[in-house]
Amino acid sequence: MLETRKNDFPERIVYKTHRNRHLQSYWIKLHGIRKNSKDAYIKAEILNKNTVKLLIRNCTGVTVHIPPQIDKNNFCVIINGKCIEFKSFKHDIIYFKKINTWKIINNEPIIDVRKGTGILDVYMKSMRIVIPKEHEFVRQIAYNLSRPNTNANDHQIYTDYPIYYDDEVADEILSHNIILIDYNKSNKAACTIETKVNYDLNGFTYLGKYYKCEYLIMQIIPHPKDNERSVLLISSNSKDLLTKNIFLRKMVLPYYVNSINPLLNNEALIMIDKNFYGIYEWGTPLKKI
């Protein structure tokens, strides 16, 4: 076993992903799952020292780390049937993007890493929770979120994420993922965040439509300091909805093996009355679940 080493450049890769957090397999990295699709697929093969063949579905771009088996003085990359030739290539990485046809670009695009993990993305890295000081009942909700469970034989994950009041927010907190809980626009830290679903005391707006109602909105948005990190903003104008929401009473993190969760893997989950509505990815319509 000690003599065995992983081959970082296998001759053949077949990879499928449901989440933009997981886009790389060995020497291939996808540039995110295409809009309105829930998975992306790639089959990459080194046919010989002069040819790499790629078959890609539901993805508009790919990064190729050129395997050492390839002769960089003379080779081609075949993407979905299109052959792109290279002569005396000096670099180790190639970026491709589909713009009507497959073309070479200079850098990887910014990717919405939250697609596929949805509101659970906040648990993917170190995290802090910030609550308003004037509503003490919100602390119990924060406590529930700070100690998530799972479906395993041992339900405990043994975490205890720190909880802060909104007037205690320090620069140290900004280096972590953050959960902000905002009841009736009382969380001062939440006021500084650029939201995707805008809300006020009487309702919320999404895609230009205003919904006048009692609501509870859970939306995952990019961290203002780092696109790789996330902020989960939980906002409501109803104490009843905040205290009775099933996920705020007990957060259970589902297994990856169960694929996409119809509720928790949305980029926004909105509760109106007793119904849940989801936004799987930003820019798509609000759908009742």
Do 216 and 134 lie in one domain? The reply is yes
40 band by pLDDT with thresholds 50, 70 and 90: very high
Q: Is 39 a member of any domain? A: yes
pLDDT score, position 153: 80
Do 147 and 219 lie in one domain? The reply is yes
Q: Could you tell me the CA-to-CA distances from 3 to 6, 8, 26, 182, 214 in Å, in that order?
A: 10, 15, 20, 55, 63
Do 35 and 131 lie in one domain? The reply is no
- Please give the Cα distance from 115 to 260 (Å, whole number): 11
- Per-residue tokens: 72: 């960089």
pLDDT score, position 254: 87
Q: Which of 29-38, 83-92, 160-169 has the lowest mean pLDDT?
A: 160-169
Q: Domain ends where: 45, 78, 105? A: 105
Write the pLDDT tens digit of every residue in 84-99: 999 999 999 999 999 8
- Pairing assessment for the beta strands 177-183 and 127-131 based on DSSP bridges: parallel
Is 241 within 8 Å of 184 (Cβ atoms)? no
Do 185 and 85 lie in one domain? The reply is no
- Please give the Cα distance from 43 to 55 (Å, whole number): 5
pLDDT score, position 4: 85
pLDDT score, position 136: 85
Do 160 and 243 lie in one domain? The reply is yes
3 band by pLDDT with thresholds 50, 70 and 90: confident
Is 181 within 8 Å of 147 (Cβ atoms)? no
82 band by pLDDT with thresholds 50, 70 and 90: very high
Do 49 and 93 lie in one domain? The reply is yes
Q: Is 264 a member of any domain? A: yes
Write the pLDDT tens digit of every residue in 230-239: 999 999 999 9
| pTM as predicted | 0.90
Q: Is the pLDDT of residue 171 over 80?
A: no
Do 140 and 240 lie in one domain? The reply is yes
Handedness of CA 109, 114, 117, 121 (dihedral sign): positive
Do 90 and 149 lie in one domain? The reply is no
Q: Could you tell me the CA-to-CA distances from 113 to 80, 110, 118, 242, 252 in Å, in that order?
A: 25, 9, 9, 27, 21
Share of the chain above pLDDT 90, in %: 80
106 band by pLDDT with thresholds 50, 70 and 90: very high
Do 249 and 136 lie in one domain? The reply is yes
* Region class of 100: left (phi > 0), else alpha (psi between -120 and 50), else beta: left
Q: Tally the domains of the chain.
A: 2
Do 130 and 259 lie in one domain? The reply is yes
Residue numbers of the domain that contains 261: 118-288
Handedness of CA 69, 16, 14, 62 (dihedral sign): negative
Q: Is the pLDDT of residue 126 over 90?
A: yes
> What is the total residue count of the chain?
289
pLDDT, mean of residues 20-47:
96
pLDDT score, position 2: 83
CATH assignment of the domain containing 273: 3.30.379
Is 269 within 8 Å of 261 (Cβ atoms)? no
Q: What is the mean pLDDT of the chain?
A: 93
Q: Is 112 a member of any domain? A: no
- Please give the Cα distance from 26 to 74 (Å, whole number): 23
pLDDT score, position 71: 96
Do 49 and 131 lie in one domain? The reply is no
Q: Is the pLDDT of residue 172 over 80?
A: no
10 Å CB burial of residue 211 (0-12, 13-18, 19+) is: middle
